[in-house]
Amino acid sequence: MTPAELLLRKAEDRSAVFGIVGLGYVGLPLGMEMVRAGYRVLGFDVKQAAVDALNEGRSHIQDVSSAAVAAAVQAGKFEATSDLTRLSEPDAIAICVPTPLSKTKDPDVSYVLAATESVKRTLRRGQLVVLESTTYPGTTRELLLPALAGTGLTVGEDFFLAFSPERVDPGNPKWHTRNTPKVVGGITPACLQVTVALYRHAIETLVSVSSTEAAELVKILENTFRSVNIGLVNEMAIVCDKLGVDVWEVIDAAATKPFGFMKFTPGPGLGGHCIPIDPHYLAWKMRALNYKTRFIEIAGEVNSEMPVFWVGKVMDRLNDRGRALRGSRILVLGVAYKRDIDDVRESPALDIIRLLERQGAKVSYHDPHVARIKDDGIELASVPFSADCIGAADCVVIVTDHSSVDYAVVARHARAIVDTRRAIKPQREGS
């Protein structure tokens, strides 16, 4: 029996052991779906505290319940470890590590390279390796393949290599790992075949593409599309402000068109682990090919400048009341990068706080999901939400519109409000 035939059989009877490198927002939900599909999962993470907590049945990811982790551990279907020498045990290994940007906006693939080196040291005949970390087109073939082929094993025959981008949307109550269609591209047809066979029991819909490069570019396109369109409506917010027009009224009216328009809304900027970062991977790759990705760069400029725009609106509101920003008490509502999650990665709220503090404002924040911030010069704890707290601030800035916050209380008690999310709906004539 060939290695491919053996993997196909193990996929069918669920005897395959599935390994996951990186047990964060991507890896842990994927691991729980693999458990649910009947596989035994061995998870790897360099953070010993996270490993220990998971083995005790405690989840550190908002979208994965501790009950689900505890049940998987007790059933003998899930184990976490920091011992990377055990990477020889799984039949399939999904690499789900971060791919941040450097300070110069270049791709930082050091985590991917480190994970690949660990897999290489234990790679055996018959294993599948799937990169899920978002990266630039060519990464799987140009970085992972030479490293793994350096063991003397032949891709598509002795071992298998594929790319399948994560599409996690933290906090989304409707779309999660299992029911979000999953794109898969293999280095060879055999690589694609075994990847689909192993994933299809855990993921409802698989979308096969012709190459790893196509799969890599799919994820970049998805988030570039969002970045560019958010940049457009953010610029429209500035245009409407200068014209004295309500941008949300304009967008709501435009959205009544049943074709040719997709609704995006403005905000304080971009945050999270995907949209602010992924387009820069493509821009970097294209610079190496002597091509300038103009839409990506313009959208990035507009989106990155939105915190400055909103701090300017805070100054305007205070000026209306005869106050300077310096010395004023500013309450920021919401610091997570999006509604109803606890993730502050790349959150525009952090930029807004820094800008306010540099101008001499006394900044506090409330976020029901984020108890404390410690990030590059910011060290704050969430204050309680109350009418007194709202009323004590010279200006309240709504940055993240968490659904559990009572915005009616904000509207009644705030002295001044800057609402970057339209959390407080205006009353219009005739409504």
Give the tens place of pLDDT for each residue, 97-125. Answer: 999 887 777 889 999 999 999 999 999 99
For range 256-264, the mean pLDDT: 96
Token digits for 405?
Answer: 């916050």
Report residue 427: phi and psi, to 5°: -90, 120
pLDDT cut 90: percent of the chain above it: 89
The pLDDT confidence band at residue 170, using thresholds 50, 70 and 90, is confident
On whether both 62 and 183 belong to a single domain, the answer is yes
On whether both 202 and 324 belong to a single domain, the answer is no
Please state the length of the chain: 431
**Run of H or E residues at 419:** strand 417-419
Which residues are CB-contacts of 245 (< 8 A; sequence separation ≥ 6)? none
In 3D space, the residue among 326, 300, 325 whose CA is nearest the CA of residue 315 turns out to be 325
Identify the residue with better confidence: 9 or 375.
Answer: 9
Does the pTM surpass 0.75? The reply is yes
On whether both 269 and 197 belong to a single domain, the answer is no
On whether both 274 and 405 belong to a single domain, the answer is yes
Summarize pLDDT for 351-374 with one digit per residue, the tens.
Answer: 999 999 999 999 999 999 999 999
On whether both 112 and 203 belong to a single domain, the answer is yes
Residue 249 lies in a domain: no
Out of 150, 180, 210, pick the residue that ends a domain. 210
Residue 226 lies in a domain: no
Token digits for 44?
Answer: 């790897």
In 3D space, the residue among 161, 162, 276, 291 whose CA is nearest the CA of residue 214 turns out to be 162
Residue 29 lies in a domain: yes
For range 127-145, the mean pLDDT: 96
On whether both 384 and 317 belong to a single domain, the answer is yes
Summarize pLDDT for 28-53 with one digit per residue, the tens.
Answer: 999 999 999 999 999 999 999 999 99
CA–CA separation, 352 vs 350, rounded Å? 5
Model pLDDT, residue 169: 87
Q: Identify the top-confidence range among 93-107, 265-279, 329-343.
A: 329-343
The pLDDT confidence band at residue 234, using thresholds 50, 70 and 90, is very high
On whether both 263 and 407 belong to a single domain, the answer is yes
Q: Running DSSP on this structure, what letter comes out for residue 88?
A: G
Residue 227 lies in a domain: no
- CATH number reported for the structural domain that contains residue 305 in this entry: 3.40.50.720
For range 53-77, the mean pLDDT: 96
On whether both 170 and 26 belong to a single domain, the answer is yes
Could you identify the residue written with the tokens 């570039």?
A: 224
The pLDDT confidence band at residue 428, using thresholds 50, 70 and 90, is low
Model pLDDT, residue 100: 87
On whether both 196 and 264 belong to a single domain, the answer is no
How far apart, in Å, are the Cα atoms of 300 and each of 105, 261, 280, 293? 11, 22, 9, 11
Listed in sequence order, the DSSP H helices in 178-293 are 189-199, 212-243, 247-254, 278-288
Model pLDDT, residue 427: 66
On whether both 190 and 281 belong to a single domain, the answer is no
Residue 393 lies in a domain: yes
Q: Among all residues, which ones are annotated catalytic?
A: 274
- Which domain covers residue 298, as residue numbers? 259-419
Whether residue 431 is predicted with pLDDT greater than 50 in this model: the reply is: no
CB hemisphere CA count around 160 (13 angstroms): 30
Residue 64 lies in a domain: yes
For range 70-98, the mean pLDDT: 97
How many degrees, rounded to 5, is the angle at CA 227 between CA 169 and CA 212? 65
Out of 210, 225, 247, pick the residue that ends a domain. 210
Summarize pLDDT for 242-253 with one digit per residue, the tens.
Answer: 999 999 999 999
CA-based torsion, 291, 296, 298, 304: positive or negative: negative
Residue 101 lies in a domain: yes
pLDDT cut 70: percent of the chain above it: 99
Q: Are 267 and 306 in contact (CB under 8 A)?
A: yes
For the CA atoms of 183, 186, 190, 193, the dihedral, rounded to the nearest 10 degrees, stands at -10
For range 6-29, the mean pLDDT: 97
Model pLDDT, residue 178: 96
DSSP symbols for 2-37: -HHHHHHHHHHHT--EEEEE--STTHHHHHHHHHHT
Model pLDDT, residue 407: 97
Whether residue 84 is predicted with pLDDT greater than 50 in this model: the reply is: yes
CA 61 to chain centre: 13
Whether residue 172 is predicted with pLDDT greater than 80 in this model: the reply is: yes
On whether both 21 and 126 belong to a single domain, the answer is yes
On whether both 405 and 335 belong to a single domain, the answer is yes
Model pLDDT, residue 171: 85
* Total domain count, the chain: 2
Whether residue 275 is predicted with pLDDT greater than 80 in this model: the reply is: no
Out of 210, 240, 274, pick the residue that ends a domain. 210
Whether residue 281 is predicted with pLDDT greater than 90 in this model: the reply is: no
Residue 190 lies in a domain: yes
